[in-house]
Amino acid sequence: MKTLYFMDMYYPSDTQELRQYCSVEQRDCHTPSLILLPHSALEFIHGMYQDAFSRIHSPKRIVIIAPIHGQKMEDDVASSLFTYSSGDAMTPLGPVRIRSVDGVKVNDSYAEEEYAIELFYPYVALNCPDSVILPILTALESKEDIQALSRLMAALKKEENDTLFIISGNFTQIGRSDEINQMARNLNELLENNAPLLDAAARKKISGCAYRMMEASRTSIHGHFRIIQARCGNYVGESLTNEADGRIWQVYGTKG
C-alpha cells in the first residue's frame, strides 16, 4: 500500500467527520468532462468537493492534475509533467487505485511535498470506488510545457472516453480589495468565454497556480466552462464579483 502523507494535516482526524465531509447525494446528471476545484484544508472547501462529486458517476478513469508549488528536483529540470507509480492507497474511507500515466516521468517523491492530489483520495474511495486515479503533477513554465499537457489530456480522452479530468488549482492576488476584485472579474470573464489565459497573466490581469493548467484544458477539452462557486479567503460569496478582501480565489466550476 502507498503511504499517505497529509491525512493529519488537511483532513479532520475523526473518521466520521471525514465521512460527513465526503458523503454526497448523487445528482441525476451526466458527469462533466472537466472539473476545476481548489486545494486547501477540507474544512474550508469540502462543500465544493461534495457538490462536485455529486455530479460524478464512477467514470473508468479520473485524471487529477495539480501543480508543483516548490522547486523541481535536480534530476527533473528537463521535464514538466510527472506521475506517480501504480499502486493502491488506503484512506480512512476505503482504498483507491492509482495508476501511472504512460509516457510521463514517474517520481513518487513529489507525493511527500504536494497535497493537492491526495485531497481527492477519500472522495474517490467513498463515491467512486471502481474508478482508477491517474495523477499528473505539473511544472508548467512555458507555452511548450502547456501545449504538452494539452496534447496529453487530448490523448488520454481519446484513449478512453469515460475519463474525467479534475484540475486542482487556485488563483491568487496580493493587493487592495479593489485590485483583487478586478482580477476576479477578469477571471470570471475569461473562464466563462473560454478565452486565452496566458496573455492576461502576462499583463497581470490574473495569477495563481491554476491558470496554466486551465489554459491547457481550454483547447483539449471541449465545452462551455461554468463557474459554480468561488470564495475569497474566509469569505464565501455567491460569485466572483462580491466585495471582499483576500488573497486567494478558490474557484469551483465544470466544463462539458
Residues 31, 58: Cα–Cα separation, whole Å: 9
What are the DSSP calls for 215-247, one per residue? HHHHHHS-S-EEEEEEEETTEEESSTTS----S
pLDDT of the residue at 186: 87
Phi and psi, residue 245, nearest 5°: -75, 145
Q: Of 9-13, 60-64, 93-97, 144-148, where does mean pLDDT reach its minimum?
A: 9-13
Q: Of 195-204, 205-214, 245-254, where does mean pLDDT reach its minimum?
A: 245-254
Residues 110, 62: Cα–Cα separation, whole Å: 19
Dihedral, CA atoms, 80, 46, 111, 65, nearest 10 degrees? -20
Distance (Å) of CA 228 to CA 51, 147, 157 = 9, 27, 24
Classify residue 112 as exposed, middle or buried by CB count within 10 Å of its CB (0-12, 13-18, 19+): exposed
> Average of pLDDT values for 113-123?
94
What confidence category does residue 33 fall into, taking pLDDT thresholds of 50, 70 and 90?
very high
| DSSP structural state of residue 73 | P
Q: CATH number for the 29-255 domain, one of 3.40.830.10, 3.30.200.20, 2.60.40.1180, 3.30.1010.10?
A: 3.40.830.10
- Displacement of CA 153 from its chain's centroid (Å): 14
* Secondary structure of residue 12 in the 3-state scheme: coil
From 117, 128, 111, select the one nearest 52 (Cα to Cα): 128
**Contacts by 43-47, CB closer than 8 A, 24 or more apart:** 43/12, 44/231, 44/234, 44/250, 45/231, 45/250, 46/21, 46/22, 47/229
- Name 166's bridge partners: 35, 64
From 45, 22, 27, select the one nearest 127 (Cα to Cα): 22
- Please say whether the dihedral angle defined by the alpha carbons of residues 193, 196, 230 and 91, taken in this order, is positive or negative: positive
Classify residue 87 as exposed, middle or buried by CB count within 10 Å of its CB (0-12, 13-18, 19+): middle
pTM here is: 0.92
Note whether 251 and 227 are within 8 A (CB): yes
Residue 239 has pLDDT above 70, yes or no: no
Residues 83, 73: Cα–Cα separation, whole Å: 14
Note whether 171 and 249 are within 8 A (CB): yes
Residue 244 has pLDDT above 70, yes or no: no
pLDDT of the residue at 218: 93
Residue 175 has pLDDT above 70, yes or no: no
